[in-house]
Amino acid sequence: MGGYCGLCGEPRDDLPHAACDARLALEPPRFCTSCRRRMKVQVTPRGWSAECVEHGVVTG
Amino acid sequence: MTDILERARDRALDRGEGLSYDELVEVLRLPDDQVPALLELAHGVRMKHCGPEVEVEGIISLKTGGCPEDCHFCSQSGQFTSPVRSVWLDIPQLVRAAEETAATGATEFCIVAAVRGPDERLMSQVRDGIRAIQEAVDINVACSLGMLTQEQVDDLAAMGVHRYNHNLEAARSYFPSVVTTHSYEERWDTCQMVRAAGMELCCGGLVGMGETLEQRAELAAQLAELDPHEVPLNFLNPRPGTPFGDLPLMDSADALRTIAAFRLAMPRTILRYAGGRELTLGDLGTRDGLLGGINAVIVGNYLTTLGRDADEDLALLSDLKMPIKELAKTL
Ligand code: SF4
Ligand SMILES: [Zn+2]
Ligand SMILES: [Zn+2]
């Protein structure tokens, strides 16, 4: 699968991230899944957006 | 029925008076099989002294992260290796968040900043933000901007801030284990100034931070002494990288005992579910707490974490036949 875990920032291939994936139901990602940079995250009452300087904005 | 429940019925339900510290300790020590009776009593106190309405609020982080303080539970402190990065919200985004909040039926919208206290830049952003919200949205604006000077208190009151949040966070005896960069007394002083200026005071704290049961009772008793208009109750959600990041989640029965104890300490306050309830209580426990003394919720997301879907909470309130409190028109 490759890439990085949005929650803990570790490589996806090395470790199991099921617990991280479950936690992503109750928090936004903090790490870019492409490059592992910490993202600028803004949470709003009904959504969130997270921005990587290199890979742009993801929302949820 | 045990002796303490009988005394609590007499004091809190019949007379509307809060329990003492010693009585709150007894409440928190009640065995599991007494918890349903305790919650029923706390619910009765809430219904009699506050009514069935639930106050709904939304919150927004105007300035996230990079805080110089070291509150050990907080992912926004700049002193820990938390993954939360510093970010500011602009005014159009702030107004949009207020609109989203109002659309849920909420009557309160709280603007929060991760700071020790506001500087000129933050005060001016808040001033512009409140003006823009007041022009576009019918909602009460609250603020939570840390410790204030008297001048800032007066400025916020003049801007029309309806309620100011400043938590005690922890019992006085446990506070130095939670925060070392400012004191419990500094927090207490800001709370007193806020109230003296005529704003409603919102002041609560967190439980599940490793405090003893006695310190939990102490926090409830100290809040009761302060007598805030609203008390937000948070359950620790251990944040990675913070000193409390490895603490276990609070036991759900203890969380429910705490809700009931807070209600019995403060029969007439607005007791709000704040952060951590999703993890600590889950869906079932959330319902139990609303039937155990809670009469206010934060709807939607928190500052850095996500909440339950707002529609699920609103459906639960309607299921429980608890109407959402409406905006009081004082014109
Ligand atoms: S003052 Fe507020 S934002 Fe700053 S570390 Fe403490 S709780 Fe977090
Ligand atoms: Zn992970
Ligand atoms: Zn990236």
Question: What are B9-48's pLDDT values in tens digits?
Answer: 999 999 999 999 999 999 999 999 999 999 999 999 999 9
- Residue A46 forms part of a structural domain: yes
Q: Are B267 and B17 within 8 A, CB to CB?
A: yes
Mean local confidence (pLDDT), B170-182: 98
> In the predicted model, is pLDDT for residue A14 greater than 90?
no
pLDDT above 70 covers a percentage of chain B that reads 99
Q: pLDDT band for position A31 (50/70/90)? A: very high
Please answer yes or no on whether A41 and B85 come within 8 Å at the CB atom: yes
Structural domain contains residue A13: no
Which residue from A28, A31, A46 is facing B100, i.e. has the nearest CB? A46
Residue A1's pLDDT band (cuts 50, 70, 90)? low
For chain B, domain boundaries: 3-316
For ligand 1, whether the C-beta of B71 sits within 6 Å is yes
pLDDT of residue B331: 43
Whether A22 is in a domain gets the answer: yes
Average pLDDT taken over every residue of chain B: 96
Q: Which pLDDT band, with edges at 50, 70 and 90, does B163 fall under?
A: very high
Given a cut of 60, whether residue B329 has pLDDT beyond it is no
A5 within domain boundaries: no
Asked whether this complex has an ipTM greater than 0.85, the answer is yes
- Residue partners of B189: CB distance under 8 A and separation at least 6: none
**Mutation to test the B interface, candidates A46, A53, A59, most B Cβ within 10 Å:** A46
Residue B173 has pLDDT above 70, yes or no: yes
Q: Is residue A6 part of a domain?
A: no
Sign of the C-alpha dihedral computed for residues A43, B74, B198 and B263 taken in this order: positive
Q: Is the pLDDT of residue B1 over 90?
A: no
Q: What is the pTM of this model?
A: 0.95
> Is a pLDDT exceeding 50 seen at residue B174?
yes
Asked if residue A38 belongs to a domain, the reply is yes
CA-closest residue to ligand 1 atom 8: B74
Q: Strands across the sheet with A40-44, in order?
A: A40-44, A47-52, A56-59
Q: What is the pLDDT of residues B193-205, one digit of tens each?
A: 999 999 999 999 9
- The three-state DSSP-derived secondary structure of chain B is CCHHHHHHHHHHHHCCCCCCHHHHHHHHCCCHHHHHHHHHHHHHHHHHHCCCCEEEEEEEEEEECCECCCCCCCCCECCCCCCCCCEECCHHHHHHHHHHHHHCCCCEEEEEECCCCCCHHHHHHHHHHHHHHHHHCCCEEEEECCCCCHHHHHHHHHCCCCEEECCCECCCCCHHHCCCCCCHHHHHHHHHHHHHCCCEEECCEEECCCCCHHHHHHHHHHHHHHCCCEEEEEECCCCCCCCCCCCCCCCHHHHHHHHHHHHHHCCCCEEEECCCHHHHHHHHHHHHHHCCCCCEEECCCCCCCCCCCHHHHHHHHHHCCCCECCCCCCC
- pLDDT mean across residues, chain A: 93
Domain annotation covers residue A44: yes
Number of domains in chain A: 1
Structural domain span for residue A25: 18-59
Looking at residue B115, its pLDDT comes to: 98
pLDDT tens-digit series, residues B206-242: 999 999 999 999 999 999 999 999 999 999 999 999 9
| pLDDT interval class at B328 (50, 70, 90) | confident
Instruction: Answer whether residue A43 is part of any domain.
Output: yes
B2/B25: higher pLDDT: B25
User: Under an 8 Å CB criterion, which residues of B touch A?
Assistant: 58-61, 64, 83-85, 87, 89, 93, 96-97, 100-101, 104, 240, 278-279, 299-307, 310
For the stretch B74-93, pLDDT in tens is 999 999 999 999 999 999 99
Whether ligand 1 lies within 6 angstroms of the CB of B76 is answered as: yes
Q: Which CATH architecture has domain B3-316?
A: Alpha-Beta Barrel (3.20)
Pocket test of ligand 1: the residue of B59, B62, B67 to mutate, having most ligand atoms within 8 Å of its CB, is: B67
What region, left, alpha or beta, does residue A46 occupy, with left being phi > 0 and alpha being psi -120 to 50 degrees? alpha
